[in-house]
Structure formats: structure tokens, C-alpha cells
Amino acid sequence: MDKNSKIYLAGHQGLVGSALERHLRTRGYNNLLTRRFDELDLRRQDAVEEFFQQFQPEYVFLAAAKVGGMWANYLRPGEFIYDNILIQSNVLEAARKYAVKKLLFLGSSCIYPKFAPQPIKEENLLQGELEPSNQAYAIAKIAGIAMCQAYRAQYGCNFIAIMPNNLYGPGDNFHPENGHVLPAMINKFHQAMLTRSPQLYLWGTGTPRREFLYVDDLATACYFLMKHYDEADIINVGSGEEYSISELAAMVAAIVGYQGEIIWDSSKPDGTPRKLLDASRINALGWHSRVSLWEGLKVTYDWYLKNL
């Protein structure tokens, strides 16, 4: 993949896609293909095939997906499994049909079992039951992994699949119900500060532990793997930093400036008790995350204030 290669960024307006576009453009890649949802609905096979036939992309970053937090996954599991299976199936098939040189598929750490050994290794996939709250989304992503591997085995397609952990950063979805835990928390703390609320309620017990990866770190990993990784096996991408949800809440409160009381609603689900990825494989190849959670949170909150 060189500076003149024709590169399709599927999902360029999303959290990951926008970070990828920033990273590629700063490196001098300007022959980028992008389409908004209203211009190209990736759920429509005919539209996807027409796009690939017309523009003949050489490389594809498949970051397009229907994503959301625990509550969104709980309320709309049918949408999450239907939309994601259609999006990835249509893009992967068109990439095969029109001889894309290489494709990178973005998976998710939710593909791993709820009680997987920690830190989670790539071989732990399908070794236990999934977390029920986002099972539909996880099954869709597992299907995408299987499709990448099947197309490699049958057709010789150079499709790779990477598994990042919990992502955050500029361009995130800060909706209190549809967003993931970190951006939703930023929004909630900010609103509580504005209204001078003396108390703030958060879901669960605060005890689950999570690893967070700054999205621009992920963008560097995607670029690195597109250049240096060509294997069928999935590969984890993580920061190696792990925090409890209560520790995360304290950090967000400090950055936002909220000084009220945090009350944990234990009647609400916690989700997976712990989720830390083993990133030793990508680290051994030469990639490491660089942005700490505190640093990334400050940048993310600044973006939130300027844009939302």
C-alpha cells in the first residue's frame, strides 16, 4: 500500500473511520474513497457491488458497523445482528469479487467469552458463553471473522481481522443511552455539573474492570497491521491499561470538574466482570499504544466541549 493506492474507508464518519482518515492523510495518503450512509447504504448488496465495480478500490478498511452501548444492544439486538451481518457480508463479497489486494476487518473484544481467562488471548475465541447483553452484536462480529478466514481459505483473499478493546476519543457517540460507557459517562458528568446536581447515578456496582484504547492509537495499529500483518489468525489490539468502572468515573469527574456524589445502581447489570486483552502478538511485531487514559480523556473532553 503506497501513497497512490486507492483506499476505501468504510465508515469514515464513525469513531474509528474518522481516526483512520486523519492518520492516513497525515501520512500523505490522499487517494481515499469515502461515502456517507445517505450516499451508499452498505446493507444493500446491489449498491455495494456497483460502488466496487465503478471505483475498484485496492485496499479496504472495514470500519463501518452498527455500534452502541449496553442499553442499545439490549433494546435493539435484532438491528445489531441484521445490520452488521449485511454490512460486512456485502463488503467482503464485493472485495473478493473485485480483487481487492487487502482488507482489514474491525472486530471487537466482545467476541470473547464472558468469563474468558485474563488477559484474553486470541485462542480464547469460542471457548465459552458470550456476555448476554451484547450477544447479537458479538455473533455478527464472529461471523465476520469466520467469513474473512473462509474467503482466505477458499479464494486466497488477503483479509485480516483485528480485535480492539473498548475504544474512545474524538468523534465518539456521547448519547447517554446509545453511547458506550466512557463517552456516555463524560456526557452525564458534564450535564450534572451544568445543572449543579448534588448526586449522579451510574449503572452497576462500579467493580467491573475494563481496558480502554484511544482511537488514534487504534488508527496507528490498523495502518501498521495493513503494512505488516498477513495472517488468517485474528490479532488483539489493546493498551494494556486496566481500570475499574469506579476508577474511570473518578477520573472523568476530575477532568469534567464534577464534585457531587456518585451513586451506583446495583439493580442495573454490570456486564462482563473483566476484559483485558493480551496484546503480546502485536507488541512482538513492533506496535505499542502510546496514549494514556488520562491524556486521552482530556483530549476527548476538550473535543466534546468544542463540538457538542
Domains of the chain plus CATH, in order, are 7-172+212-240+276-291 (3.40.50.720)
- Say if residue 254's pLDDT is above 90: yes
> If you average pLDDT over every residue of the chain, what do you get?
95
Q: How far apart are CA 258 and CA 124, in angstroms?
A: 39
107 is in an annotated binding site: yes
**Per 3-state DSSP, what percentage of the chain is helix, strand, and coil (rounded to 5)?**
45, 15, 40
- pLDDT band for position 104 (cuts 50, 70, 90): very high
What pLDDT is attached to residue 176?
A: 74
Residue 239 has pLDDT above 90, yes or no: yes
- pLDDT at 173 exceeding the cut of 80: yes
Positive or negative, the CA dihedral 36, 37, 42, 46 is negative
38-45 mean pLDDT: 97
- Of all residues in the chain, the percent with pLDDT exceeding 70 is 100
Catalytic one of 8, 59, 137, 168: 137
Q: Is 271 annotated as a binding residue?
A: no
Q: What is the pLDDT of residue 50?
A: 98
Query: Cα–Cα distances in Å, from 90 out to 46, 49, 81?
Result: 9, 8, 14
Q: What is the mean pLDDT of residues 159-172?
A: 95
List beta partners, residue 160.
104
What is the three-class DSSP state of 189?
A: helix
C-alpha–C-alpha distance, residues 164 and 130, integer Å: 17
Whether the model clears a pTM of 0.75, i.e. scores above it, the answer is yes
For residue 68, what pLDDT is reported? 79
The contacts found for 143-147 with CB under 8 angstroms, 24 or more apart, are 143/85, 143/88, 143/89, 144/84, 144/85, 144/88, 144/92, 144/105, 144/107, 145/105, 145/107, 145/111, 145/234, 147/88, 147/89, 147/92
Distance from C-alpha of 220 to C-alpha of 288, rounded to nearest angstrom: 9
8 Å CB contact between 248 and 185: yes
Q: d(Cα 247, Cα 207) in Å, to the nearest integer?
A: 9
According to the model, what pLDDT value does residue 273 have?
Answer: 86
pLDDT of amino acid 64: 97
CA-to-CA distance for 291 and 238, rounded, in angstroms?
Answer: 11
Reported residue count of the chain is: 308
d(CA 7, CA 11): 13
- The 3-state secondary structure of 60-97 reads EEECCCCCCCHHHHHHCHHHHHHHHHHHHHHHHHHHHH
Q: How confident is the model at residue 270 (pLDDT cuts 50, 70, 90)?
A: confident
Confidence of residue 133 (pLDDT cuts 50, 70, 90): confident
303 has pLDDT over 90: yes
**For residue 286, is it left (φ>0), alpha (ψ between -120 and 50) or beta?**
left
H-assigned helices in the chain: 15-26, 45-55, 70-75, 77-97, 135-155, 181-194, 215-228, 245-256, 280-285, 293-307
Per-residue model confidence as pLDDT tens digits over 176-234 = 777 788 999 999 999 999 999 999 999 899 999 999 999 999 999 999 999 999 999 99
Q: Is 35 helix (H, G, I), strand (E, B) or coil?
A: coil
Is residue 4 marked as binding?
no
Q: Give the pLDDT score at 203.
A: 87
Q: Is the pLDDT of residue 71 over 80?
A: no
CB 70 within 8 A of CB 271: yes
The pLDDT of residue 167 is above 80: yes
pLDDT reported for residue 35 = 97
15 annotated ligand binder = yes
**What average pLDDT score do residues 90-119 get?**
96
The pLDDT assigned to 269 comes to 82
Q: Answer yes or no: is pLDDT of 278 > 80.
A: yes
Find out whether 12 is annotated in a ligand binding site: yes
258 carries an active-site annotation: no
What is the pLDDT averaged over residues 97-122?
96
Predicted confidence at residue 92, as pLDDT, reads: 98
Query: Is there a binding annotation on residue 106?
Result: yes
- Answer yes or no: is 11 a known binding residue: yes
What average pLDDT does range 113-130 have in this prediction?
95
Q: Is 166 annotated as a binding residue?
A: yes
